[in-house]
Structure 1
Amino acid sequence: MTATPMSGRRAQAARNDEAILQAARAVFTADPGAPISAVADRAGVGISALYRRYGSKEALLRKLCADGLELYIAASEKSLAMADDPWEAFATYMRDIVDADSSSLTIALAGTFQPTEELYHLSTRASQLAVEVHDRAVTAGVLRPDVTVADIALLFEQFASIKLGDERRTTELRHRYLTLVLDSLRHPPAHRPLPGPPPTDEELERRWTPSS
């Protein structure tokens, strides 16, 4: 069945909502203490339009975290549905979680607001799936048995801390180091070509140059 096209007003509201969420993610992962007005400015919408959709900063933070957990759950379910190659299923899970970048929200927002029952439910589901993905890889003999689910969770946070250059370069570098880590996690160990060039001295030094 063909979906009914949204009216002009509803389509604009959907675009505004997407812009607000993208802006909120960028603003609050950079500075969890930023005012909600900074989100409206970055999204290019009026503060009243933002408040019509999200009644408070906490409501917006909860939405960001719920979206991040849902991405995590989707990546886990995708991995568990891959039955042919246990290692590729685990590696795909790792790559998808790194690309979803939900760990940036964990690093920035943990403890900054009161979670709802919905968030507790999503978090419980995400944790259960993470255990399933981990246990299946260990049982199949493709993942080092001394690596725990908590180890993997902290690795995701380490990948999220890699931020160098623009979004494309950051993604490239995260996958470079993910490949290194995957080779160390695999049982028995593997060694594959690393994606993307290593960071240059200029890239590292550029972080200390004030932006104009």
Structure 2
Amino acid sequence: MTKALSGRQAQAARNDEVILAAARAVFVADPGAPIAAVAERAGVGISALYRRYASKEELLRKLCSDGLDRYIAESEKALSDDRDPWVAFKAYLRALVDADTNSLTQRLAGTFTPTPELFEAAGRASELDRAVFARTKEYFRPGIVVEDFAVILEQITSIKLGDETRTRQLRHRYLTLMLEAMHRAGEEPGGELPGPPPSMAELTDRWRA
């Protein structure tokens, strides 16, 4: 049984959630924003923020770590889904779109120095990507590779129109179109995808500070 937090511990945990939510909103909008902007959005003093996170880089690493943890959890859930592989894959991509972890990839890549733990988590995420792809590969049109998914998700999560409800609606609208385009049944006779797929080097080079 999980031990209940004391009043002070519970308040600290709530404050941390508020700080992280504020940091995500601030840095996804502008990775160059000062850490003071996070404190202002969170409604906490800058000294309180620094007691929890000693630097902007530490805060960015925490955001990235949380995003990777969520991505890994959704990937493991997809692999344990015993439904038809294509049905499970569609549910997996929808969950990733709602988790919005790729917004962090787009905006924070190259803005801080990753730790060995982050590289290890990224490696685990990559392994799971390949396992999900292998399980679903027979459903894809020729030419699609596992690295395509990262860019597709970035394209979908770059959509930000209206309020949160409208943004989610539009993201799922275009995800549905993407899924139809990826499925083998949607392939046009003799059609080839333009340009080569993204390489792993292209995807990882963005994380160089």
Q: TM-score range by the shorter chain?
A: 0.7 to 0.9
Q: Deviations over 1:140-174 (max 9, x none)?
A: x2222421111111001101110000111101100
Q: 1:142 aligns with which of 133, 139, 163?
A: 139
**2:156 matched to 1:159?**
yes
The 8 Å contact of residues 87 and 143 in structure 1, kept in 2 or not, is answered as: no
TM-score for the superposition, normalised by structure 2: 0.86
Q: Deviations over 1:44-67 (max 9, x none)?
A: 111111111111000000000001
Aligned-pair Cα RMSD in Å = 1.2
For 2:102, the aligned partner's letter is S
**Identical columns (%):** 62
Gapped regions of structure 2 (runs ≥ 5): 188-209
> What pairs with 1:1-212 in structure 2 (closer than 5 Å)?
1=1, 3-138=2-137, 141-189=138-186
Moved more, 87-96 or 26-35: 87-96
Gapped regions of structure 1 (runs ≥ 5): 191-212
Distance 1:170 1:29 in 2: 15
TM-score for the superposition, normalised by structure 1: 0.85
- Aligned to 2:141, the other structure's residue is in SS state coil
Give 4+ residue runs of structure 1 displaced > 3 Å after superposition.
none
- Aligned to 1:120, the other structure's residue is in SS state helix
For 1:107, the aligned partner's letter is Q
Number of aligned positions between the proteins: 187
Higher relative contact order (CA 8 A, sep 6+): 2
For 1:151, the aligned partner's letter is D
